[in-house]
Structure 1
Amino acid sequence: MAITLRKRTGASVTFEIITHPRRFPVKAIAVHTFGSPDGMGVIEPATPTPAVGEVLIQTDAIGVGGVDAVIRRGTVTGAGFGSGYTPGSEVAGMVTGVGDGVDQSWVGRRVWAFTGVGGGYAEQAIASVDNVVELPDGLPSVDAVALGSAAPVAHFALVHAHFIAGESVLVRGASGSIGIAAVELASRGGAGSIAVTTSSASRGELLRRFGATHVLDRDGNGDGPELFDVIIDVVAGAALPRFIERLAFNGRMVLVGVVAGYPPSDFGMTLLGAFQKSLTLSTFSLDTVPRVDRDRTRIELFDAAVRGDIHAVVQDVLPLDRAADAHRRMDDGTVFGRLVLRP
């Protein structure tokens, strides 16, 4: 049964859960052929059932992430990415059912959830209760999926880089949701300067509103510092060695994405060639952050968004059945912030 919320008026705010017949059939998106977005299509899967430790979520908003496009292109392969794979790793919506071992009080709560390496592009999604946080009042579902993964990745990537106030920062690939969050958080953290790479002057001007002080093109050309203490890189790809060369003495680069594909196999020679600069290049994944720290930080960032201290940047909201259009825009490189799907 689908669940809606009705707000009552009075001395206190309460919510009444009202059940209605569920719409049939349930819809989801599957990748039938990896490569072009044309290989994606609508399917009608069986209603999912939460297993032990899991919750069932009626989705209200679904984030379209860079990793979704990377997987759909076939860049990442593995047993879990066969024909019929449903993309999507983060959703926001209402918990409508729980598996064994999960407190029934989750039912009726509005939540953000990480669904794993897939399963999010659906009207109903399953997530481990360990990957679910309740949303604060005042944070729309659309904003939640723009921030829920991106902002914690940006936060912990800066921590991973041992960033301190006064240092120069370059955010490579700053027009996506992770990049925008990294710019805002570095600015809030007192960065001495924040350079960004982006594809157009208009995007650069938008990024200045979030704290960027210098705008470079995708190749790193422009009016800005030559060297940086910290580089947060969402892009990787063939140009990665050129940006390693932009690190200052004791500079740290943290790789948080590969939206342009993997770097050349010999990129490590650039590090060795700068041996005397004591450079560091590392990867970062939220999987390495303890759950308690991850959840606490995500909740703090959601609360900051409600206060207006950080911002969810959503370029467009599309119906679920237009997921392929969203991926075409991702491939075109025309997205600023996040695209969101709604059932």
Structure 2
Amino acid sequence: MKLVCVSEFGPPEALRIVDAPEPVPAAGQALVAIETIGLGYMDTAARRGESYLVSSPGFVPGYEVAGTVAAIGNGVDASWLGRRVFAILRQGGGCAERLTVPANELIPLPDDISCENAVAAGLNALVAQVGVARLPITDTDQVLVRGAGGGIGLMCVQYAALRGGTVVATSSSRERGERLLALGASSIWNRLDSDLDGPAAFDIIIDTIIGQDLPAFFDRLGDNAHYLFCGGVGGLPPADFGMKLIEHFHKSPTVHAFSLNSATLDEVAREAAILFEHIAAGRISSVVDSVMPMADIVEAHRKLDAGQAFGKIILRPDGGA
């Protein structure tokens, strides 16, 4: 079979398509014939050597897949054979034609959810779903989503709007802004502008960026407001960023931080079932940027590095589109 290997940390050209023996499921494992692979920030960060998930090159990227169980190891219930499944791969390995996965990490796909829809929402939607659920959003709240055009951000826009919040979404272009409005945002702030339009203070700020500009957004917190970190594509904040938050101590802010890594396998499975219900009912939309053959993974990473993707880039090992 074919798989993708990161030969060295660096640019997209470090990615290589290589031949490898087809894996055989050990006890407790299932062999998944992969149909779709979700590609996102975790993949590009790992490729550059900027992820805690990997310490050295020579690994196979890919952190979410969907496909069909083709074989099972000893001790795995035979009912898994032939089932369509979704899996989050905390150790990677998903950029391949086939992959062995512990059976207890498999999430069954309902008949009305395609493999494409599963990975298009996938990790990003689950982070948004669980993270936003921790916020007391009401229909009177003004909500700012920072990094709204990113994979997690556009899902946060949808979940905040679903909860009834009036959502201001940051964007880098008019086209992206129009698409965010269609997903539930009430207004758009073009982050390339000098000033942030909208309320002087927000009840809720959802941040998928962090980065050096973080302290300025603490200034936008209203009384008893909530600030959620659920991504960090902009890198680390200034070393003294906490001082700005202390300056606003009198406003009684609440700060949340959420990573899906803190959720148990059972929790992820329960949340995924809820997510699939939302998608089937049309309450949440899977957003697909493009579908590409796995052989074009270098081009896909270039697109992500350039910030050109809106929604999930989906790779297909079979080359279909």
> Would the TM-score normalized by the shorter structure come out above 0.5?
yes
Q: Please report how far the alpha carbon of residue 332 of structure 1 lies from its aligned counterpart in structure 2 after TM superposition.
A: 0.7
What is the correspondence of 1:148-187 to structure 2 with a 5 Å cutoff?
Answer: 148-187=122-161
Q: Which stretch shows the higher mean deviation, 162-171 or 137-146?
A: 162-171
1:210 pairs, out of 178, 183, 187, with: 183
Query: After TM superposition, what 4+ stretches of structure 1 lie above 4 angstroms from structure 2?
Result: none
CA distance in 2, matches of 1:259, 1:172: 11
1:248 pairs, out of 222, 239, 247, with: 222
Which residue in the other structure is 1:98 paired with? 72
1:199 lines up with 2:183 in the alignment: no
CA distance in 1, matches of 2:240, 2:19: 45
Task: Give secondary structure in 2 for the equivalent of 1:149.
Answer: helix
Q: Deviations over 1:112-171 (max 9, x none)?
A: 111213111111123232322111112221111011222221111112233344222111
Unaligned 5+ runs, structure 2: none
Which residue in the other structure is 2:255 paired with? 281
Unaligned 5+ runs, structure 1: 1-25
Task: Give secondary structure in 1 for the equivalent of 2:101.
Answer: strand
Q: Please report how far the alpha carbon of residue 222 of structure 1 lies from its aligned counterpart in structure 2 after TM superposition.
A: 4.1
Task: Read off the aligned partner of 2:281 and give its amino acid letter.
Answer: R
Contact conserved, 1:219 with 1:239, CA < 8 A, in 2?
Answer: no
CA distance in 1, matches of 2:176, 2:150: 11
Which residue in the other structure is 1:20 paired with? none
Check 1:266–1:299 CA distance in 2 against 1; reply closer, same or farther (3 A cut): same
Contact conserved, 1:115 with 1:125, CA < 8 A, in 2?
Answer: no
Task: Read off the aligned partner of 2:4 and give its amino acid letter.
Answer: I
Which residue in the other structure is 1:342 paired with? 316
1:87 lines up with 2:61 in the alignment: yes
CA distance in 2, matches of 1:315, 1:123: 22
CA distance in 1, matches of 2:103, 2:204: 35
Which residue in the other structure is 1:230 paired with? 204
What is the correspondence of 1:46-125 to structure 2 with a 5 Å cutoff?
Answer: 46-77=21-52, 80-125=54-99
Q: Please report how far the alpha carbon of residue 70 of structure 1 lies from its aligned counterpart in structure 2 after TM superposition.
A: 1.7
Q: Give me the TM-score of the superposition, normalised by structure 2.
A: 0.92
Aligned residues: 316
CA distance in 2, matches of 1:99, 1:228: 52
Task: Read off the aligned partner of 1:37 and give its amino acid letter.
Answer: P
Check 1:211–1:98 CA distance in 2 against 1; reply closer, same or farther (3 A cut): same
1:43 lines up with 2:18 in the alignment: yes
Q: Give me the TM-score of the superposition, normalised by structure 1.
A: 0.87
Q: Deviations over 1:73-114 (max 9, x none)?
A: 222256x33121111110000011223332121110001111
Which residue in the other structure is 1:9 paired with? none
CA distance in 1, matches of 2:282, 2:13: 38
Q: CA RMSD in A?
A: 1.8
